[in-house]
Amino acid sequence: TGGLATYIVSLIIFIFLLFITQCYELIYVYGGLMTLYLIIWVSFPSFKNFIHRDLNLLITMVVGGLWHGASENFVIWGTMNGIALIVYNYWKKISPYENSTALIVRFWRIFITFQFITFTRIWFRLEDSSAPLAMIDHIWNHLDLKWDIVKLVFQTYSSVFWIITLGYFLHWMPQSWKDKGQDRFTKMNLGLKSIVIVICVFLMYQAISDTFKPFVYFQF
């Protein structure tokens, strides 16, 4: 559902984007999108509900980006995720694989989603507005994948890779194992629980260095 408030909020967000990005070419982008939506709306009146849904979804994700901070990169991150959700809402209606349970289809879905989320995190984690494109250019044109470099990366961040491996193991392990582990932890006495928590905090602390960007949710 949607109405006048949807368009008012869209306009407010657009004006805010102009102020924080100083990219006045957005006027043409915004005008073009609104014109396209208007043409579709007039041509297909029943499409109005989809327009409202899409705008509300995009507004939610952009506001979600702004919630992390008044930064151009956060806005871009939220916008990309909003557009992806809109595209998926249409794609799943025509996709021949939407209800498929084949292992290769499941793997492909997870792979695509993981790659997209990782890609958008470039904007989420970098502060300078020009840094994401510079990083993408470095990855695309200047990435050195010599074995010595790869080995050095694994040695330098070994604790991080071990934690990632543990995370994958915990994620993919059978649900029955997870339930048993939760039950066992719940039944522990307070002393043992405290020791487990201290060990987990210690392991996470070991994976942190001064060169890492602080976790965004700790910066309020």
Going by C-alpha positions, the residue among 15, 31, 135 that lies closest to residue 75 is 15
pLDDT tens by residue, 207-218: 565 555 555 555
Residue 208 is predicted with a pLDDT of: 61
In the chain, the N- to C-terminal Cα span, in Å, equals 33
Q: What is the pLDDT of residue 112?
A: 92
| Host H or E run for residue 59 | helix 48-68
Q: What is the mean pLDDT of residues 96-100?
A: 85
Q: Which of 80-84, 196-200, 204-208 has the lowest mean pLDDT?
A: 204-208
119 pLDDT tier (thresholds 50, 70, 90): very high
- Residue of 53 and 132 predicted with greater confidence: 132
The pLDDT-based confidence of 151 (bands split at 50, 70, 90) is: confident
In this predicted structure, what is the pLDDT of residue 200? 81
Secondary structure class of 95 (helix, strand, coil): coil
Choice between 69 and 195, residue whose per-residue pLDDT is larger: 195
Mean pLDDT of 91-103: 86
Q: Are 12 and 3 in contact (CB under 8 A)?
A: no
Residues 6+ apart with CB under 8 A from 137: none
d(CA 56, CA 51): 8
By the 8 A CB rule, do 49 and 41 touch? no
**What pLDDT score was predicted for residue 120?**
92
Averaged over 146-173, what is the pLDDT?
85
The predicted structure's pLDDT at residue 216 = 55
Percent of the chain with pLDDT over 70: 89
Amino acid identity at 208: I
Structure tokens at 87: 């595209």
> Looking at the chain, which runs of residues are DSSP E strands?
none
Residue 220 clears pLDDT 50, i.e. is over it: no
Does the pLDDT at position 94 exceed 70? yes
Residue range 121-138, pLDDT digits in tens: 998 888 887 888 888 888
Q: Give the pTM.
A: 0.67
